[in-house]
Structure 1
């Protein structure tokens, strides 16, 4: 081959490669362009949806969380938990988007992302794709059922506090109030369509907002000086802080629906991005409420700071009533997801004649389960720690880490296997939260109830 032929060959090769690159770009699937959402959510709307998922009863539990760790470790720990929770959401959404491109689908749910990650992952784990989907679904159901058990205790504790004040001659235990709630909760859980729950959601949000404002009014008044023993607490109590903080801040169960329905999903990740802005705001709010609530009430801080409000003042009593109403109506909203997951799996085994009866029985049994768990652990603070350690850490930490590792294993693990090392540290953190949180919660339960 002479020099002229060599030059022509190189020119043709360059043109061919350029055409192949252009063809690859033209054939690259962009899931955002294929999303056909009937009523897309604006960027501001996505921010408020994500904010609502992270703000709730957990916010009122942060002063009790700080009680187990102290001021300085509490502030650092809140920032650390927020950072880890944000990162896990980030890797879940990033993996879901990559899988959408590979599978050429517009969007994937949380469970579908888990299944696709294993299907497109190493050969050894492909056969587990269906199992990981079921595991993700049941983890989601566990989060919702565990969270609603906390709600039962939350409502029962508030009702006891209110009734003990107005009817001091009729004092009942928290367990008794849990029993009183059984029938009303069964009735509200029979609502099967999400659109009928919208008024309850609006009422719950309004009640929570007013409760939060009244609580801040009391919390930020007459704050005592910082005592040395409040700066840090013995390390044996730290696991209860971690599991409570994870319970409070984890809203990963609504992340994929919010991202999938955005009008401009490219604004979800990145800097500033909806996710980062929301979590910075959430971490700041949780840190402020936890810090000043702990400085105000110290070791007396209860599982909900509203229980620390005075009983002889009208605004405080209004806050206690409103938070009970808000959590009561939030209960049926939180039960929607696990009931839907369970019904999808069992409805095919029930004949058409008994479909309605089957729905009623399933919903009743799930409510009975949550009330039974609340009666078994009638302590709001300890139940939050236990549920956070088991369910919320699994859904928010373990599954995103496993999904990203499975997807990147045969593709790109980064320089020096950075993905493997980083996810190993996250996995160790998950195990720390799971084991130590369960141990600390159960030990406290045994000591308290024995």
Structure 2
């Protein structure tokens, strides 16, 4: 049996389960928001690496495997005596499994929070990838000043927008901001599609490359570096238990996840295609950076600004969801015998402020989200999304896995390990002398 520290639902007040249940629609919005996050920003860049057809196939395959992995997690959770991801791993692999899960959640979530702030910095204050200057919205509107700098703009966002949101104590409290967040993601895709259609009519689009192109700069193994990006874009397993156990019937989580996966895969496919049509091989790791280009009309320029601002607001609303599970996991690891976090104001506020400060400082120091995506997708994210759920099904401590389950789990684990290993080795080779 799991210890009391892992049998609690993180940050939930002590109350009977018959009160204040979350709704299925709220769960769908929270799951969708957890999935979309920053992942949508680098999806078009994967089309540049893979080509349209392989990228689309990869998105569909990863979404299907995520559905299987979540089903494994929820089934073994309900068969055991725990309500957390770390608790499921503890029941299967002891303290080592629990600790590995907590570490992976912390690395993945903190990395994603840093990516969110990097994107916000790109939108507001621009970026200079490979020496090419891309101005942010604040710089385009008001010029280059100290108060339009990346450091000051992000500090203002953290202090006046993100801090009030991350101080909320329940996941369900975020359902309305999550609904707005999903709507903003749809708006982002919608406006991008309009811009792509206008460009298509004017003959200014780029021809999408259907298959990968190999030359002296791109090898077959480079294709594997795009896999971690897609994996990270679909990794939300750290929020499965916090969201699922606020539902009146936690089994509804499977339904919420499937609805969300269909919605998010559709959004990813759309933005990937439209983004590639608009920018072709010049597309950046963060597609929002590309929308700084001058347009031939005032309406076009306005749409470019609306695209960036709408997604910046989306990122601000996603931030609290990942901070929620990160904060709960750190508290579970560091203070297993303390009262529930929501009931201890000093601990709650201190953890919140420390996490915000670390995220802010790292976002200032790191300029590019592509490297973060690859690192997370090759390590902690792939463990949470595929390796750990597959290992739980294969260990089968509750004797509930069917033969089909074990085959699926084995395939999932092998694919995850092989692709991640190749991606890591390829990146190492590229960074340390493989390519000029």
Considering the TM-score relative to the shorter chain, is it more than 0.5? yes
Task: Tell me if the contact between 2:29 and 2:182 (Cα under 8 Å) persists in the aligned partners.
Answer: no
Q: Report whether the alignment pairs 1:323 with 2:311.
A: yes
Once the two structures are TM-superposed, the CA of residue 44 in structure 1 deviates from its matched residue by 3.9
Task: Tell me if the contact between 2:167 and 2:352 (Cα under 8 Å) persists in the aligned partners.
Answer: no
**In the alignment, which residue of structure 1 is the partner of 2:379?**
390
* TM-score of the two chains, using structure 2 as the length reference: 0.75
Q: Report whether the alignment pairs 1:287 with 2:287.
A: no
What secondary structure, in the 3-state scheme, does the structure 1 residue paired with 2:83 have?
coil
The separation in 1 between residues aligned to 2:356 and 2:27, in whole angstroms, is 30
Once the two structures are TM-superposed, the CA of residue 57 in structure 1 deviates from its matched residue by 2.5
Once the two structures are TM-superposed, the CA of residue 275 in structure 1 deviates from its matched residue by 3.5
How big is each residue's C-alpha offset from its partner over 1:311-351, in whole Å with a ceiling of 9 and x where there is no partner? Answer: 4511211222332233234334422322232234445899x
Q: Report whether the alignment pairs 1:221 with 2:198.
A: yes
- Structure 2 CA distance for partners of 1:54 and 1:333, relative to 1, 3 Å: closer
- Structure 2 CA distance for partners of 1:340 and 1:255, relative to 1, 3 Å: closer
Q: Report whether the alignment pairs 1:131 with 2:96.
A: yes
Task: Tell me if the contact between 1:382 and 1:445 (Cα under 8 Å) persists in the aligned partners.
Answer: no
**In the alignment, which residue of structure 1 is the partner of 2:107?**
142
**In the alignment, which residue of structure 1 is the partner of 2:410?**
424
How big is each residue's C-alpha offset from its partner over 1:188-210, in whole Å with a ceiling of 9 and x where there is no partner? Answer: 44753335767765665554444
How big is each residue's C-alpha offset from its partner over 1:77-112, in whole Å with a ceiling of 9 and x where there is no partner? Answer: 11111111111111111222232xxx5xxx722222
Once the two structures are TM-superposed, the CA of residue 113 in structure 1 deviates from its matched residue by 2.1
Unaligned residue ranges in structure 1 (runs of 5+): 1-34, 119-127
**In the alignment, which residue of structure 1 is the partner of 2:359?**
370
**In the alignment, which residue of structure 2 is the partner of 1:156?**
121
Matched ranges for 1:240-279 at <5 A: 240-269=225-254, 273-279=255-261
Once the two structures are TM-superposed, the CA of residue 154 in structure 1 deviates from its matched residue by 0.6
How big is each residue's C-alpha offset from its partner over 1:382-438, in whole Å with a ceiling of 9 and x where there is no partner? Answer: 322222222221111111112112225x836645xx555443332222223432333
**In the alignment, which residue of structure 1 is the partner of 2:369?**
380
Report the aligned-residue RMSD.
Answer: 3.7
The separation in 1 between residues aligned to 2:25 and 2:351, in whole angstroms, is 37
**In the alignment, which residue of structure 1 is the partner of 2:7?**
none
**In the alignment, which residue of structure 2 is the partner of 1:407?**
396
Of 116, 127, 150, the match for 1:177:
150
Task: Tell me if the contact between 1:182 and 1:368 (Cα under 8 Å) persists in the aligned partners.
Answer: no
The separation in 1 between residues aligned to 2:319 and 2:252, in whole angstroms, is 31
- Structure 2 CA distance for partners of 1:364 and 1:46, relative to 1, 3 Å: closer
How big is each residue's C-alpha offset from its partner over 1:103-148, in whole Å with a ceiling of 9 and x where there is no partner? Answer: 5xxx7222222223x2xxxxxxxxx523322322222222210100
Q: Report whether the alignment pairs 1:82 with 2:63.
A: yes
How big is each residue's C-alpha offset from its partner over 1:250-299, in whole Å with a ceiling of 9 and x where there is no partner? Answer: 22222233333334555554xxx443343233323322321332233221
Task: Tell me if the contact between 1:219 and 1:296 (Cα under 8 Å) persists in the aligned partners.
Answer: yes
Once the two structures are TM-superposed, the CA of residue 216 in structure 1 deviates from its matched residue by 2.9
Task: Tell me if the contact between 1:393 and 1:433 (Cα under 8 Å) persists in the aligned partners.
Answer: no
The separation in 2 between residues aligned to 1:384 and 1:221, in whole angstroms, is 31
Greater C-alpha Rg = 1
**In the alignment, which residue of structure 2 is the partner of 1:165?**
140
Task: Tell me if the contact between 2:386 and 2:413 (Cα under 8 Å) persists in the aligned partners.
Answer: yes
- Structure 2 CA distance for partners of 1:171 and 1:435, relative to 1, 3 Å: farther
Unaligned residue ranges in structure 2 (runs of 5+): 1-15, 127-135, 215-219, 296-300, 339-343
How big is each residue's C-alpha offset from its partner over 1:192-244, in whole Å with a ceiling of 9 and x where there is no partner? Answer: 33357677656655544443432332234334688585432342332232111
Once the two structures are TM-superposed, the CA of residue 364 in structure 1 deviates from its matched residue by 4.2
- Structure 2 CA distance for partners of 1:315 and 1:432, relative to 1, 3 Å: same
Task: Tell me if the contact between 1:386 and 1:441 (Cα under 8 Å) persists in the aligned partners.
Answer: no
